[in-house]
Structure 1
């Protein structure tokens, strides 16, 4: 489903019942939230791209998105990346949270063991949790333009890291 570049302020809750949805592209709107149950009944949902909206949080239903591979949420107002949502996204390889309002990252980020690209630029992060070292397959980590004064030593466990943008 592609509703990119419109003036939507919300998506209908019934959208969460479209069981065959594989991709949701809704960037460049004025969304303040996504349907609360999004992901609960969509076992094949592999990509959510919702950059440049006004999203403040992730729907709780994302904890059921076991097939989600790409989650692009740059340019929103997300302040908290909740642990429940993170724990369910085991297949996630790309997480883009650039340009949000994050001040901390949940330790549950370490549970994203398939993660290859993590973009956290332009937030208000002061530290990364030590569990970032559990993302052993991480290839790219972008954390520039935050408030960090260092990196946790556990980052050394990310043996495939080829791009480190601080």
Structure 2
């Protein structure tokens, strides 16, 4: 589930652009020297086999370096660093945390390793995308100091340990993707304090315990994914009352439950329902035939019984998986 909300947020930030694609400064203040020093330390510690950082030299003003965007509000201060998919690798130096006016950081799809860089001084940071790297260790509590964060993508790394309980203190958070790591422990109920969340992706980790009912407080939620973990117990009824929910993916868990009979009355905007391999039992609710926006439905590898209800109203349905159940009767 690689994020509609994250893409929208990134596009929004790029439109802002901070008005600074071509800033030229005749003098460099103390703060600006700090930014230059941090960038040069980053370059010195980074393996760059394809020369993505070849423009990072003193002959080119640093605001025109590849991937660097400076601010028009704070001339000469680095507001964005975007270097996705550049085959860069190495460990990120601690001085990186001195880019204190940074609002957007995207180093996704590279080979960076080691611990996550220190970000506790980056109070202006709005979007953080470090996905598809090889970062290790835990998600640091210091990340919660970045109180303006709206989008965080740490997916496809090797992070471990628990999800910090303080994650809910990021009150402006819209999208959080920490899937495809080695995170363990429980889903902290305190996530529900981030009431602006629209996308939450926790898939393909080693999370245990139950799905907290507090997630039902996230009234803006559109996409909720917690599949391929070690979660047990039913999905709380409160989640089936998130009327704006469009994507629900909890596949490969031990939910042991029957689907609510009125599922499409409470989730009228449902587009993707993936609960394959979750130990579902009971009947397929006939009300699923009224989820007119449904595009993908996967209820395979469960213990569902009875007949397949009519799905004749599901004109948008592109994929339907019902194999490996105990269904009977004719195909409607």
CA-CA distance at 1:157 after TM superposition: 4.3
CA deviation vs aligned residue, 1:140-161 (integer Å, no higher than 9, x gap):
1122222334312231343321
- What is aligned with 2:72? none
- What is aligned with 1:47? 127
Mapped contact 2:92–2:112 kept (Cα < 8 A)? no
- What is aligned with 2:236? 152
- What is aligned with 2:245? 161
Larger Rg, first or second structure (1 or 2): 2
CA-CA distance at 1:47 after TM superposition: 0.8
CA-CA distance at 1:41 after TM superposition: 2.7
- What is aligned with 1:107? 189
- What is aligned with 1:66? 147
- What is aligned with 1:14? 95
- What is aligned with 2:212? 129
Distance, in Å, in 2 between the alignment partners of 1:65 and 1:109 is 16
Query: SS at the partner of 1:113?
Result: coil
- What is aligned with 1:83? 165
Query: SS at the partner of 1:9?
Result: strand
Give the alignment's TM-score, normalised by structure 1. 0.86
Query: SS at the partner of 2:96?
Result: helix
* Greater relative contact order (CA < 8 Å, ≥ 6 in sequence): 1
Mapped contact 2:168–2:192 kept (Cα < 8 A)? no
Gaps of 5+ in 2: 1-80, 251-332
Give the alignment's TM-score, normalised by structure 2. 0.46
Query: SS at the partner of 1:14?
Result: helix
The 1:159–1:59 alpha-carbon spacing in structure 2 relative to 1, beyond 3 Å, is: same
Distance, in Å, in 2 between the alignment partners of 1:87 and 1:62 is 12
- What is aligned with 1:96? 177
Could you say which structure has the higher strand fraction?
2
Q: Which runs of 4+ in 1 moved over 4 A?
A: none
